[in-house]
Structure 1
Amino acid sequence: MMIDAHQHFWAYNPEEFDWIGEDERVLKRDYFPPALEAETGANGIDGTVVVQARQSIEETQWLLSLAQQFPLIKGIVGWVDLMSPNLEQQLLSWQNEQVLKGFRHVLQGEPDPNFMLQPRFVEGLKLLHQFDYAYDLLIFATQLPQARQLLDTLPQHRIVIDHIAKPDIASGEGFAQWKAHMQAIAEHQNVYCKISGMVTEANHKDWQEADFIPYMDVVFSAFGPERVMFGSDWPVCQLAATYTEVIQIVERYVTRLYPEFSQHVFGLNAERFYRL
């Protein structure tokens, strides 16, 4: 299967999606599976991993209900309160939900960069591992030092870095620091990386495909093509590119440098990581 390992659905309302600003009006509407099916069908994508966009149990339940209706959804990355005293009971209640593959917290939105290092948060992550759930690490590049500390405490947990840790592609600032941190993180063999979200970290109106090559060079060299997976970040990618353009950026790169690993980057790695 060809897998898009990172996309979102939502029923838009301004209260729950206050992160969508006035310059992002294209996102201020509902995004449901039929709209994505038109994109995936045109690009040969057989299935997707849908990732939470709201931090609530209701979000996870809603995504589970969508998966029952739309076979395109092969896996769900939901949300759960990792610091809740009822975490174990909540995870037990989902044990029969085979499509639920992992969880995510919007760490990039936490004002305290050390939020992820709180003992209760780390213990919650360790409990996810006991239940055999994967974890998506959503951070800005500036949070990579804390991420490195966190990953040192989780040597066995299946963890994937979302959006190559969101470096500032538009300006190129901080590239050397981002590269050093990513290379160090990649030494953890349990950690994967999603080639996703790049176009929205670039100049939305004036990006060039060449802008992304130095970043893909670092990720593929550090993690190896066996631990890299493609994700569109649809519909957020539409701020800067079409679904097809996002796929083609990665497709052309892989075809040129890692042609024998195309099926891994566009499917097999996601299947293995998320156990689809």
Structure 2
Amino acid sequence: MIDAHQHIWQLGEHDCCWPTPDLVAIYRNFGVEDVLPLARFAGVTGSVLVQSQESDADTDYLLAVAEQSDFVKAVVGWVDLASESASARIAHLAGHPKLRGLRPMLQSLPDDDWILRPELEPAIAAMKGHKLSFDALVYTRHLPHLEQFARRHPDLPIVIDHAAKPAVIATDRPADDWRNAIASIARLPNVHCKISGLPAESGKDQGQAELAPYIQYLLTVFGAERLMWGSDWPVIGLAPNKQLTIYKNWLNLVQHALTGCKLGEIESVFIGTSLRFYRIA
């Protein structure tokens, strides 16, 4: 199995300014050596490291770690896509054998439609030229803008992180605005989605019964061939339901939600889609 979404960081190093001290559960250093026992116990044999800082130094750090780790199969880094030097930076990063994609942190930007700005086009062209993918860290409100972006760039592989962070805690069933926006963008063949991050969006008393409908809806609209599972470790430690802060418990929940799927569909969600999307040999 491939874990399509993991993070590592060293507080105060490589421009690391998040997590902040108030996030007690994850306010410490995390490295690949910390997740390896958890992943191996769960049957996970490889991971995709994803940036957590808006920093070139953080991306360089992730790539250096990946170079020394057989477990890390791919890296999703960060580039200031609005910078005049973005294209040159992308060309440089693309020379690293494990750099597979980039992720601007759209969720925290002041303009929900930032990704549609014309000054980003040279960087996006560079991404496509170097065959890099685009991880979209968004909330539901960003999805219409992301859909417009995806239509503008049908040859750019895009994956929605954490299923666009639906407000699971606010309702007992998937809200209509999330369902409609997800269904609309899922019609675009270049858009994929990660089954990740949902524990952190749910309440302390929510679990299998509340999260399974989200997973099953994603399967309905995207199909298994465009879905991939990710732990979001160690951010999963912020889940209000302490049972879902446990790596294997989250994996087990997703596996249970997919009960009844064909073997080929299950293989796609847990390994095939990640291998194809991130071009992992």
Give SS of 1:247's match: helix
The runs of 5 or more residues in structure 1 that have no matched partner are none
**230-239 vs 140-149, greater mean Cα deviation:** 140-149
Name the residue aligned to 1:253: 257
Q: Deviations over 1:106-133 (max 9, x none)?
A: 1000121121111112442232112100
Q: Is the 8 A contact 2:174 2:213 kept in 1?
A: no
Cα offsets for 1:116-162 (capped at 9, x unmatched): 11111244223211210001001011212211222121111110000
Report Cα offsets for 1:19-48 as digits up to 9, x if no partner.
Answer: 5462x2011000001101011110110100
- Percent sequence identity over aligned pairs: 33
Task: Report the CA distance between 1:258 and its aligned residue.
Answer: 4.0
1:3 corresponds to which residue?
2
The match for 2:198 is 198
Equivalent residue number for residue 81 of structure 2: 82
Report the equivalent of 1:167: 166
**Deviates most, 4-13 or 84-93:** 84-93
Q: Which residue of 1 aligns with 2:242?
A: none
State the 1:18 CA deviation: 4.4
Q: Secondary structure at the match of 1:58?
A: helix
* Cα pair 1:116 1:122 within 8 Å, conserved: no
Are residues 1:52 and 2:73 paired?
no
Query: How far apart, in 1, do the equivalents of 2:154 and 2:262 lie?
Result: 28
Tell me the residue number matched to 2:278. 274
CA apart distance, 1:174: 7.3
1:96 maps to a residue whose letter is G
Amino acid at match of 1:81: D
For the residue of structure 2 that corresponds to 1:229, the secondary structure is: strand
| Aligned residue pair count | 273
TM-score by length of 1: 0.94
Could you report, residue by residue, the CA deviation over 1:207-259 in whole angstroms, capped at 9, with x for unpaired residues? 22111122112211111011000000000002222101111111112233344
Q: Which amino acid aligns with 1:102?
A: G
Where 1:256 maps in the other structure, the secondary structure is: coil
Deviations 1:144-196 (A, max 9, x none): 22112221211111100000000100012871011111111111101110000
Offset at residue 6 of structure 1 (A): 0.3
User: Does the residue aligned with 1:40 lie in a helix, a strand or coil?
Assistant: helix
Counterpart of 1:185 in structure 2 is 185
**What letter is aligned with 1:194?**
K
Moved runs in structure 1, 4+ residues, more than 6 A? Answer: none
Alignment of structure 1 residues 1-276 onto 2, 5 Å: 2-13=1-12, 16-18=16-18, 20=20, 22=22, 24-172=23-171, 175-203=175-203, 205-240=204-239, 241-276=245-280
Query: d(CA) in 2 for partners of 1:94 and 1:259?
Result: 36
Q: Distance in 2 between matches of 1:21 and 1:30?
A: 12
Structure 1 residues 93, 224: CA separation in 2 closer, same or farther (over 3 Å shift)?
A: same
d(CA) in 2 for partners of 1:178 and 1:144?
Answer: 9
Partners of 1:249 and 1:110 in 2: CA distance: 32
| 3-state SS in 1 of match to 2:70 | coil
Superposed CA RMSD in Å reads 1.7
CA distance in 2, matches of 1:179, 1:123: 33
* Bigger shift: residues 65-74 or 42-51: 65-74
**Cα contact 1:225–1:258 (8 A) shared by 2:** no
With normalisation by structure 2, the TM-score equals 0.92
